[in-house]
Structure 1
Amino acid sequence: MKPFTAIACAACLAIAAGVGTATFFFGGVFSVAASERDPALVNWALVHVREASITRHATDQPPMSLDDASVVQGGAQAYASLGCQSCHGGLGVKPARFSQGLNPQPNLKAVIEDITPPELFWVLKNGIKMTGMPSFGTGKDPVPDAELWSVTAFLKRVPSLSSDDLAKWTAAHHG
């Protein structure tokens, strides 16, 4: 009888957890307000779901060398022209005021060194639901893959770029 009791107890706990979770999310207890931080468990789950999904789907490989200076420079110019600085800022450029209200905060510095080029390209091309990160590879006027790969090359180099290089490359775009 003891094994049956343990199984029954585990089943009851699983059902109670399921009902509690459903009530929390579908009963309106969970706040979808961007002004409120997610509970730690929800944040943990969202981060792990996002990371697993990106890792699973990011299978494209770069069609060019991401170390080529002209590719990196083109990526800096594309980063500026696509409006990426509005949310993420850049060297010497602050993010736009509206980005302060995004939840989660668009913090490239926190992830750029941990994400692989194929994963970064996938995020640029497909976006991320419910984060404010748009898909640049879809819609009526998708950004060509080669341009997204150049932005990928630029972003992977950002930690080692000088302010002078970035200013020169982005100024070349605006001039």
Structure 2
Amino acid sequence: MKLFLYLLLGFFLVMAIAIISGAHNISATEKHWSITEKTIDWIRESLIEVHAKNLTVPQLDDRNVLSNGFKHYHEMCTECHLAPGLEVTEVSMGLYPQPPVFHEQAPVTEQAIRSDTIRKYFWVIKNGLKMTGMPAWGLSHDDQSMWSMAAFVVKLHGMSAAEYENLVRTTEADHSHHHGHDEHSHHHDHSH
């Protein structure tokens, strides 16, 4: 017990010296040691796995669900996570740790891995991650929207710039069609 207390006291003494002397730099431009970064990544991935493993993935193959996920991703996530054909942004460049760029990851084809990945993405989207810049979207979005985003992010793996641009055009055309229809309906209502 005495040895443990001496080690603990020694640890706090070293930490105090590092803080007072400025030896540890908390700047986002100063990267962690490789071993520190690997340890943090392992801890983060392990904790996400533990928290997400018992979630039940709802039915997500509906075209409207994925379209909804795309819309949310395009509006909220591209500044940090980018999109196919999108250049690095000032925000994504300045974040440390760097946020994952999903379209650069290998496509997920096996159903069990796909479901596991969606569960983990959902948990992160809903709860955010401390000290990464990832917000907890669960404070402002319902579960259905977040499941849609998680499913879309998995679809984003390996997506080409042309495929993503096609989604942008389709969404803009749908929005334009609905907006025009709403105006027509509104106009029609006033004519009676």
TM-score tier by shorter-chain length is: 0.7 to 0.9
Determine if the alignment matches structure 1 residue 166 to structure 2 residue 167.
no
TM score, norm. by length of structure 2 = 0.70
| Secondary structure, aligned partner of 2:45 | helix
1:78-93 equivalent positions in 2, closer than 5 A: 78-81=72-75, 83-93=76-86
Question: What residue is the counterpart of 2:47 in the other structure?
Answer: 53
**Any unmatched runs of 5+ in structure 1?**
1-7
1:32 deviation in Å?
1.4
Q: Is the 8 A contact 1:76 1:166 kept in 2?
A: no
1:99-138 equivalent positions in 2, closer than 5 A: 99-109=92-102, 116-138=117-139
- After superposition, the CA RMSD in angstroms is 2.7
User: Structure 1 residues 160, 15: closer, same or farther in 2, change over 3 A?
Assistant: same
Query: Quick one: which amino acid aligns to residue 146 of structure 1?
Result: Q
Determine if the alignment matches structure 1 residue 64 to structure 2 residue 59.
yes
Q: Is the 8 A contact 1:24 1:30 kept in 2?
A: no
TM score, norm. by length of structure 1 = 0.76
1:40 deviation in Å?
2.3
Q: Is the 8 A contact 2:79 2:89 kept in 1?
A: yes
1:53 deviation in Å?
1.4
Query: Quick check: which one's helix share is greater?
Result: 2
Determine if the alignment matches structure 1 residue 75 to structure 2 residue 69.
yes
Query: Quick one: which amino acid aligns to residue 61 of structure 1?
Result: T
Determine if the alignment matches structure 1 residue 36 to structure 2 residue 30.
yes
Q: Is the 8 A contact 2:69 2:146 kept in 1?
A: yes
Determine if the alignment matches structure 1 residue 154 to structure 2 residue 152.
yes
Q: Is the 8 A contact 2:84 2:159 kept in 1?
A: no
Question: What residue is the counterpart of 1:145 in the other structure?
Answer: 143
**Any unmatched runs of 5+ in structure 2?**
176-192
Mean Cα deviation higher: 164-173 or 37-46: 164-173
Aligned mates of 1:143, 1:26 — CA distance in 2: 41
Q: Is the 8 A contact 1:85 1:95 kept in 2?
A: no
Query: Between the two proteins, what is the percent identity of the paired residues?
Result: 28
Q: Which has the larger radius of gyration?
A: 2
What is the number of equivalent residue pairs in this alignment? Answer: 160
Aligned mates of 1:124, 1:25 — CA distance in 2: 33
Q: Is the 8 A contact 1:126 1:136 kept in 2?
A: yes
1:22-33 equivalent positions in 2, closer than 5 A: 22-27=12-17, 28=19, 29-33=23-27
